[in-house]
Amino acid sequence: MRNAYMTDELEAIYEQTVDFVAKEVTPHGDAWEEAGKVPREVLQQMGELGMFGLRVPKEHGGLGLGMLASATFSEALGASTFAGFDVTVLVHTDMAGPHLINSGNDAQLAEWVPKMLAGEAIFSIGVSEPDAGSDVAGMRTAAVKDGDGWRINGRKIYITNAVYGDLTIVAARTDLENKYGITMFLVPAGTEGFSVANKLDKHGWRCSDTAELILDDVWVSDEQVLGTVHRGFYETMKNFQNERMVLVGMGIGAAQAAIDMTNAYTQERKAFGGHLFDLGAIRQRMAMNQAKVDAVRASMYHAAWMHDAGQDNVKAMSGVKAWGCEVVNQVMYDCVQFHGGMGYMRESAIERMYRDARILPIGGGATEVMLEEVAKRSYA
Amino acid sequence: MKILCCVKRVPAPGAKINVTADGQDVDAAHLGFTMSPHEECAVEGAVQLIEEHGGEVTVLTLGTGDAEEQLRYAVSVGATHGVLVEADTIQWDPQRTAQAITAAVQELEGDEPFDLIMFGNESADAGGFQVGIRIAMALGRPIVQGIKGVEIGDDTIIARREIDGGFEVYELPSPAVLGIKEGLNLPRYPTMKGRLASKKVELNSITASAAEGGQVRVKLHRPEETVSETVILGMGAEAAAAVVDVLDELGVL
């Protein structure tokens, strides 16, 4: 057993995912980074193997598992070392998908869940805007009632999976009197007025497609409202802890891979009459990195377990997100350092992993926002 | 129909193999394990046969409790049952291994023999090419090695062996034994549900018993790593002249 929270089911998820990424992702990832895209075929293959249904209730064709399953899945994806791939999958399964599962009505679930499970439709979540990232209250995209539907105008930015994806869950302000009066809409790609303004050019996560979206007089029907009108902000919040956690999970999976490859490299690399790993400065720093990663991993699984046990885990998960993502970056920094000049070369995996890690303390709730979540729950 | 696949737990390909200090075994401390690729194809072939004709696939391995991992993997891709023939180590000599598995097969069969027993053509680690043949002989059943195609006929097994420019086709009376080669098929991935099911399946356990066969390992030796150098002669058409020079130097022009 990998840790105290593991069950046979979770072990199976870990093995399945690690095996899959080792065979089908890592050998091809460099080409995907170059292309700026994860091929749809590999996502459909994952769909066929049932890898998108961990959190989908059994009655809708999934496995109906809890947050520990997402922790396990995300950590195992991280072993791919291609975080752009990991986030493509996790936005679909753990950031956008859950909103449909949590708030969708019968007709919406019947239409979209089978496509989501099969990887026929890839999902994205459209919340962030140029003036509204972690602070959702600054959202300017607005929807006004228009006949049997709504007319949406605005812009969205940094939307993962929205260049090549099929369905964006768009958040728009519907109650101008209330800063939290937001409604979620299901907006399929190709809807008139809904377009990609830019495919964004990023520091890392190069194989993940990221869009700036324009909603120009987009009309959607009442049937495309996801959940309750004006209640979208609160409904979105239901998935915040999961979204935060899977970013930590994929980061920890990658950090462990980075430690393993750096230990192997420094144990092979000859210098000063021995191997690099024989130097106390290196072996002790790597040992400390391992200890930190172990601690973050344990904290993450514990916070996931709290959720599955019905406990409030906002403080715990926010802390894990803040600290864990910083740790992943510290580990990547050291791993580049101990790869020497090779670590600075674009051909080395560690150079890419270092770039990929940088977004983790920014996306899905910046470290500073996460620490506030902890701090405001820390008054005696 | 009833099919038995015999598989072996071997170090995952591509791993750096170290030898224990006494030279008697592979140092497994940092190794991942898998089943031999030939056997992965055998399991896939067996599962395809029962999907088409109905029946059950039993997967058997001889080894320590660690080898349950390979049995459960086989179940995750569609095998029905798993049997561990428990031994103190996986590295029994081929004669002893064959004796123990033969006894286990006889115990499993009772009066109802497996219609088909499949082995990998050879194991991916020791490469002895012996166990399947010894068991077929002990059971008095026909065996063909090097098989890359299997079909079920009327009370017969039709097996195809690849040769230069074509296939040899064999028709064997059932029950029969086949040594399967990689390339028979493209083994499927387990589905997530298959993986979950494999964790819950109850494995059968039989204690291995057989006398040592007489083949004694003297010592394992890890050859020195050979260092090779790659020279990039150029990119695209510009490299053509340099390539011609190299071919000329080698005297192949």
CATH of the domain at A75: 1.10.540.10
Establish if A144 belongs to a structural domain.
yes
* ipTM of this complex prediction, to 2 decimal places: 0.82
Of the three residues A199, A228, A257, the one that is the final residue of a domain is: A228
CB B7 within 8 A of CB B74: yes
Residue A82 domain flag: yes
Do A139 and A211 reside in the same domain of the chain?
yes
Would the CB atoms of A16 and B199 count as touching at under 8 Å? no
- Confirm or reject contact between B120 and chain A (CB < 8 A): no
CA of residue A181 relative to chain centroid, distance: 25
pLDDT level of residue B73 (50, 70, 90 thresholds): very high
Q: Which of B191, B199, B200 sits opposite A49 (nearest CB)?
A: B191
Nearest to B156 by CA among B177, B173, B137: B173
Q: Do the Cβ atoms of A100 and A235 come closer than 8 Å?
A: no
Q: Is B196 on the interface with A (CB under 8 A)?
A: yes
**B60 - beta bridge partners?**
B6, B83
Can you spell out the DSSP letters for A146-179? ETTEEEEEEEEEEEETTTT-SEEEEEEE--TT-T
CB of B30 within 8 Å of any CB in chain A? no
A215-235 per-residue burial string, b: 16 or more CB within 10 A, e: under 16: beebbbeeebbbbebbbbbeb
Residues of A carrying an active site annotation: 243
Asked if B192 lies within 8 A of A53 by C-beta distance, the reply is yes
Overall domain count for chain B: 1
Confidence check: pLDDT of B214 > 90: no
What single DSSP character describes residue A121?
A: S
Contact between residue A327 and residue A299 where contact means Cβ atoms under 8 Å apart = no
Cβ contact (<8 Å) for B192 and A54?
Answer: yes
Together in a domain, A247 and A135: no
Tell me the CA end-to-end span of chain B in Å, nearest whole number.
Answer: 57
In a domain, B240, yes or no: no
| List of chain B residues whose C-beta atoms are within 8 Å of the C-beta of residue A9 | 196, 199
Judge whether A3 lies within some domain. Answer: no
Q: Is residue A234 part of a domain?
A: no
Kindly give the confidence (pLDDT) of every residue in chain A, 380 residues in length, as a single tens digit, with 9 standing for 90 and above. Answer: 678 899 999 999 999 999 999 999 999 999 999 999 999 999 999 999 999 999 999 999 999 999 999 999 999 999 999 999 999 999 999 999 999 999 999 999 999 999 999 999 999 999 999 887 667 778 899 999 999 999 999 999 999 999 999 999 999 999 988 888 999 999 999 999 999 999 999 999 999 999 999 999 999 999 999 999 999 988 888 899 999 999 999 999 999 999 999 999 999 998 888 999 999 999 999 999 999 999 999 999 999 999 999 999 999 999 999 999 999 999 999 999 999 999 999 999 999 999 999 999 999 999 999 999 999 999 98
Q: How many domains does chain A have?
A: 3
Q: Which residue of A has its CA nearest to B77?
A: A49
Q: What is the pLDDT of residue B90?
A: 66
- Look up the CATH number of the domain holding residue B179: 3.40.50.620
Contact B189 A19 (CB under 8 A): yes
Same domain, A203 and A294: no
Q: pLDDT of B5-33, one tens digit each?
A: 999 999 887 777 888 888 888 887 778 88
State the amino acid at position A196 in one-letter form.
V
Chain B CA closest to residue A21:
B189
Question: A9, B191: Cβ pair inside 8 Å?
Answer: no
Which residues in chain B have Cβ-Cβ distances shorter than 8 Å to A23? 189
Percent of chain B with pLDDT over 90: 68
In the block, residue with structure tokens 């989908």:
A56
**Is there a domain that residue A325 lies in?**
yes
Q: Quote the pLDDT of residue B28.
A: 79
Domain annotation covers residue A233: no
Domain assignment of residue B241, yes or no: no
CATH number for A220: 2.40.110.10
Taking contacts as CB-CB distances below 8 angstroms, the residues of chain B near A11 are: 199
Pairing label, strands B156-163, B166-173: antiparallel
Q: How far is CA B51 from CA B1, B42, B54, B144, in A?
A: 10, 14, 6, 23
Closest CA in chain B for residue A63? B193
Domain boundary among A204, A228, A252: A228
Are residues A188 and A302 part of one domain? no
A350 found inside a domain: yes
Provide the residue range defining the domain that includes B22. 2-207
Contacts B189 to A, Cβ<8 Å? 19-20, 23, 45, 49
Contact B192 A12 (CB under 8 A): yes
Residue whose pair of structure tokens reads 């979209």 in the numeric block: A112
The three-state DSSP-derived secondary structure of chain B is: CEEEEEECEEECCCCCCCECCCCCCECCCCCCEEECHHHHHHHHHHHHHHHHHCCEEEEEEEECHHHHHHHHHHHHCCCCEEEEEECCCCCCCHHHHHHHHHHHHHHHHCCCCCCEEEEECCCCCCCCCCHHHHHHHHHCCCEEEEEEEEEECCCEEEEEEEECCEEEEEEEECCEEEEECCCCCCCCCCCHHHHHHHHHCCCEEEECCCCCCCCCCCCCCCCCCCCCCCCCCCCHHHHHHHHHHHHHHHCCC
**Could you tell me if A363 and A253 lie in one domain?**
yes
Supply φ then ψ for residue A43, to 5 degrees: -70, -40
Q: Do A150 and A194 have their domain in common?
A: yes
Candidate from B190, B191, B199 with C-beta closest to A9: B199
Say yes or no: A37 and A166 in one domain: no
CB spacing of B198 vs A12 below 8 angstroms = yes
In a 13 Å sphere around the CA of A242, the CA atoms on its Cβ side amount to 26
Residue of A nearest to B193 (CA): A50
The verdict on residue A360 lying in a domain is yes
Asked if residue A131 and residue A94 are part of one domain, the reply reads no
CA distance A246 to chain B (A): 19
Distances (CA, A) of A140 to A135, A176, A233: 12, 10, 14
Say whether the peptide bond before residue B190 is cis (omega within 30 degrees of 0): no
What is the model's pTM? 0.88
Contact at CB, A63 and B193, closer than 8 angstroms: yes
A8, B199: Cβ pair inside 8 Å?
yes
For A106, other C-beta atoms within 10 Å of its C-beta total: 7
Task: Please check whether residues A244 and A370 belong to one and the same domain.
Answer: yes
Query: DSSP string of A30-63?
Result: HHHHHHTS--HHHHHHHHHTTTT-TTS-GGGTS-
**Sequence-distant (≥ 6) Cβ neighbours of residue A309 within 8 angstroms:** none
**B156/B144 Cα distance (integer angstroms):** 13
Integer Cα distance of B41 and B147 in angstroms: 10
Question: In chain B, whose CA is at the least distance from the CA of A8?
Answer: B199
Same-domain check for residues A247 and A365: yes
User: Are A243 and A359 part of one and the same domain?
Assistant: yes
Range of the domain at A214: 124-228
Would residue B250 count as lying in a domain?
Answer: no
State residue B128's pLDDT score: 86
* Bridge-based pairing state of the strands A149-160 and A142-146: antiparallel
- With beta carbons under 8 A apart, name residues in chain A contacting B191: 48-50
Best of A2, A18, A19 to substitute, by most chain B Cβ atoms within 10 angstroms, is A19
Chain A hits for B198, CB-CB cut-off 8 Å, are: 12
A266 plus A344 within the same structural domain:
yes
Integer CA distances (angstroms), B83 to B2, B178, B203, in order: 14, 19, 6
Q: Which of B73, B196, B225 should be substituted to probe chain A, the one whose Cβ sees the most A Cβ atoms within 10 Å?
A: B196
In chain A, residues with a C-beta closer than 8 Å to the C-beta of B14 are none
Judged by CB atoms closer than 8 Å, whether chains meet at B192 and A15 is answered as no
Question: How big, in percent rounded to 5, are the helix, strand and coil portions of chain A?
Answer: 55, 15, 30
Q: Which of A175, A193, A228 is the last residue of a domain?
A: A228
